[in-house]
Structure 1
Amino acid sequence: MTLTERLETLPVFKFHYLLLISAGLGWMFDSMDTGIISFVLPVLMKAWSLSPEQVGTIGSIGLVGMAIGAILSGTIADVIGRKKVFASTLIIYSLATGLCGLSWNYESLLFFRFLVGFGLGGQLPVAVTLVSEFSPAKHRGKFLVLLESFWAIGWLLAALVSYVIIPWLGWQSAFYIGALPALYVFYLWKSIPESPRYLASKGRFSEAEEIVKDIETQAGVQRSNTKQHLQQKTLPRMAVTELFSAKFLKRTVFLWLLWFGIVFAYYGIFTWLPSILALKGFALTKSFQYVMTMTLAQIPGYFSAAYLVDKIGRKPTLALYLIGTAISAYFFGLSTDVQTILIMGSLMSFFNLGAWGIVYTYTPELYPTHARATGSGWAAGFGRIGGILAPIVVGLMIGTYKLPSETVFLMFATVLILTALNVIILGEETKGKPLDEAS
C-alpha cells in the first residue's frame, strides 16, 4: 500500500476534525479581515471626505493584492511546503490589517490594504491544498466545503466587531482587532503537520512516513512498514508552463474560466448589494439589515453543498448551484417588495456561497501533488481579475449609462449560466478519486 493509499483510506477521526477546525479558524480570520474594511469604509468616507472613486480603489487594491498573493504563494508552497506558506501568509495579512488602523491618509491605507490582500490571497489556495491532501477520498468534498463555510462565520464576526466596536472606540479599533489572528500562528504551527504528499514529492520519504505512521497510530490503524513503496523517484519541480501542457491545458482553461465567472459574480453582486437596495428605495440601515439576513443564508448553503458534493459529485452539484444563483439573481433584479427581495436575495446567497465551497473542493483535485498549490494559486489569481472588474462594470452600468438594476442582474445571471455551461462541458468528475500523482 502506497503512502497516498494509506492517507486516502484512513477512517475519519479526531485528527481530521482538528485539522478542519485549525485551518477553518485561519479561513475565518481571512474572512473577518476582508469584511472589516466593508464596514469601516462608510465611516472613512465621512472622516476623510473620500470620493466614491477613492472608495472603489480601496476595494480594488485589496483584490489586486489577492491576485498576486494567490499566484506567488501557490507557486512557493509547491517549493517550500504548505505549512510554512499557510503560517506566513496569516502573519502578513493580520499584521497588515493592524497597520491599517495606523493609516494617516488615503495613500497609506491603500498600501496597507494591498498587503492585506496579498496575505489573504496567498493563504486561501494553500489552506485548501493542505486540507485536501490529508482528507480521505470518500470525505474530501465534505471537508473542503465545510472549510469554506468558515468564511460566513468570519464575515458575521466582522459585522459584529464593526457594529459594536466602531461606535464605541472608533474605526481604528476594528483594524487592531483584525491583527489579533497573528497570535494564532503559534497554535497553528504546533497543531498542523506538513503534508506527507508534499514531503514525499520532494524526496523526504522518512519525514512523510513518520507523519503518516503517527496519524495511523492515532486512528488505531496498524499497517506494515511501506518504505519500499515510498522510495520512488522524486517528482519533477513544478514549472508554471506545465499548467498549459497537453496534460493539463483543458483543466487549466476550465478552472480559470470557472474562477473568473464565480469571482466576477460574487464581488459584483455583494459589493454593490447595499447600494442597489438603496437604489430600490430602502434606507441604508434597512439595506444593511437585509444584507445580514441574506448573509445568514450562506451557512445552510455550505452545509447542503457539503452533503451533495460527495453524494452526487462535483460537476452536477456545482452546475446546479451556479444555475440556482443565476435564477435567483435574475428574479432579485426584478424584485420590488421586501418579501421577494429577501427570499430571492437569500436564495442567491445560499446558492452562490454553496458553489464557492465546491469550487474550493474541485480546484486542488485537478492537479497532482507537485503542481497542486501552483495550479490552485494561478486559477484563484486569474479569478481575482473578475473581482477587480465587476464592481467597475456595475458602477458604469448604474452611474454612467443609468441602466436599471434589472439589467445589472440579468448580466450576472448570464455570466453564471455561461460558467455553469463551462462546468458541464469542460469539467471532469473527481468524486472519490485519490489525489495521486497520475491524476
Structure 2
Amino acid sequence: MSGFVDNATLFSWCRFLAGIGFGGALPSVISLLTEYIPKSSKNKAITLALCGNQVGGILAPLVGVLFITSFGWRPVLWFSVIPLFIIPFMIKSLPESPQFLIRKGKLDDLERTLRKIDPDYKKQLIETEQEPEMKTEKIPFIGLFQNKLALPTILFCIVYFMGLLMIYGLNTWLPKLMETAGYPLISSLGFAIFLNGGALLGTIIIGILADRRGSKALITGLYILGAVCLALLGIKSNIFFLYLLIAIAGVCTMGNQSLLNAFVSQYYPAHVRSTGVGLANGVGRLGGMVGPTLGGMLLSLKAPIGICFIAFAAPGICAALALLLVRKKHDDPTVLQSEAELTLQ
C-alpha cells in the first residue's frame, strides 16, 4: 500500500503497520520451529530458515538498482505483494503450535504432524505432558521476569540492541562509507552484496557448528571476531582483503543474529518463548534505528573513516560481554524447556 500513497503521513503509517506485521511474524516463526524441530537439528534448522533474511538483503538492492533508475521508487514497493500469494500455501502446510493444540485438546492433529517428523512418536507423550501445560504462566510477559529469568531477559535485550545496531547501520551506510574511504561506487555496492552473501553462506555453517558444539561460546566469539573485522575496515588495504573482511563481518553480524535467535528461543520455556524472542527483537529494533542515525551523524561530522568503523565495531564487544553474563540454561532448572514442551530427542 505504501507504494500507492501520495502523502508522507499515510506513507509513515503504512510503514509502521508493516513493521508491526514483520516484527510479530519473526518470533512466531522461530518459536514454531523450536517446538517442532528435533533437538539435534534446532540450530541448523532455525538458522537455515532465517537465511531468507540474507536472500532478501541481496535481492532488495538488486531490485532497487534495476527499477529505481527507470521507473522510480514505487514499483520497488509493489514487489512486496508477492508474499501474499504464498499465504494460502502457508495456511495449508504450516502446523499449529504444539502448545496451542494441547491446550485445545486437538491431540490427533498434533500426532499427525509429529508422525511426519518421527514415525516412532508415541501418543503417550502428549497425554503425560498435557496436565503440566495447565500450570504455565497465564501472562507470558510477566513470566520473562520470574524464576530467575529477569537478568537473562535484560541481557538478551542488550545483545539484540547492539547486534541490530551493527546490522542496520552497516546495511544502510556501508556503500557510502567505502565510497568516502576512496573506493569507486561500483566496488562499494559490491561490498554490500558481499556483506549479505557472506552472511548467507556463513549462517548455514555456523548453524551446523552450533548443533555440534553449542551456541553461546560460538555466538560470543563471532561478535568479537566481527568487531575486529569492522575495526580493520577503517585501514585502507588491497581489495581482496577488504572483501574478505566484509564477508566475515556479514557472518558475524547478520549470520550471528540468526544463530542468536535460535539460542534465545531454546533458552526460554515454551510458555514464554514467543514473548521472550519478541521482546528481545522489539528492543533490538531500537538499535536498528540508532545504527543508521549514528552512521549519518558521523558522516555529517566528517569523522575519520577509522572512527566510523570503530563506532560500529564497539557494539559487537558490548554484545559479547552481555552474552558472557547470561547464566547457562542447565544451571537453573526453571530456565529449561517447560514440562509441557514436546521435544523430539
TM-score, length-scaled by structure 2: 0.89
What's 2:44 paired with?
Answer: 142
Residue 386 of structure 1, CA deviation: 1.1
What's 2:176 paired with?
Answer: 275
Q: Deviations over 1:291-348 (max 9, x none)?
A: 2133211122101111111111011110121111111101012235433322211221
* Mapped contact 1:267–1:390 kept (Cα < 8 A): yes
Match status 1:423 vs 2:330: no
Counterpart pick for 1:220 among 119, 125, 141: 119
**Distance of 2:191 and 2:155 partners within structure 1:** 34
Change (3 A) 1:340 1:427: farther
Residue 103 of structure 1, CA deviation: 2.4
Residue 411 of structure 1, CA deviation: 2.4
Higher mean displacement: 303-312 or 191-200? 191-200
Residue 216 of structure 1, CA deviation: 4.1
Amino acid at match of 1:378: L
Task: Kindly report structure 1 stretches of 4+ aligned residues shifted beyond 6 Å.
Answer: none
What's 2:303 paired with?
Answer: 403
Match status 1:295 vs 2:193: no
Q: Which runs of 5+ in 1 are unaligned?
A: 1-98
Amino acid at match of 2:317: I
Task: Give the RMSD, CA atoms, in angstroms.
Answer: 2.3
**Distance of 1:138 and 1:227 partners within structure 2:** 20
Matches within 5 A, 1:38-77: none
Counterpart pick for 1:118 among 3, 20, 24: 20
Count of aligned residue pairs for this structure pair: 334
* Mapped contact 1:304–1:354 kept (Cα < 8 A): no
Residue 391 of structure 1, CA deviation: 1.8
What's 2:141 paired with?
Answer: 240
Change (3 A) 1:170 1:244: same
**Distance of 1:407 and 1:315 partners within structure 2:** 29
Report the secondary structure of 2:212's partner residue. coil
Residue 114 of structure 1, CA deviation: 1.6
Q: Deviations over 1:253-299 (max 9, x none)?
A: 22111111111111122211111012112333332123213321112
Match status 1:341 vs 2:239: no
Matches within 5 A, 1:142-181: 142-181=44-83
Identity fraction in percent: 24
* Mapped contact 1:325–1:352 kept (Cα < 8 A): yes
Counterpart pick for 1:353 among 227, 234, 254: 254
Q: Which runs of 5+ in 2 are unaligned?
A: none
Change (3 A) 1:228 1:415: closer
**Distance of 2:340 and 2:97 partners within structure 1:** 18
**Distance of 2:218 and 2:282 partners within structure 1:** 24
Report the secondary structure of 1:311's partner residue. helix
**Distance of 1:345 and 1:225 partners within structure 2:** 51
Change (3 A) 1:411 1:174: closer
**Distance of 1:182 and 1:301 partners within structure 2:** 29
Report the secondary structure of 1:232's partner residue. helix
Which fold has the larger relative contact order, with Cα–Cα distance below 8 Å and residues 6 or more apart in sequence?
2
What's 1:106 paired with?
Answer: 8
Report the secondary structure of 1:282's partner residue. coil
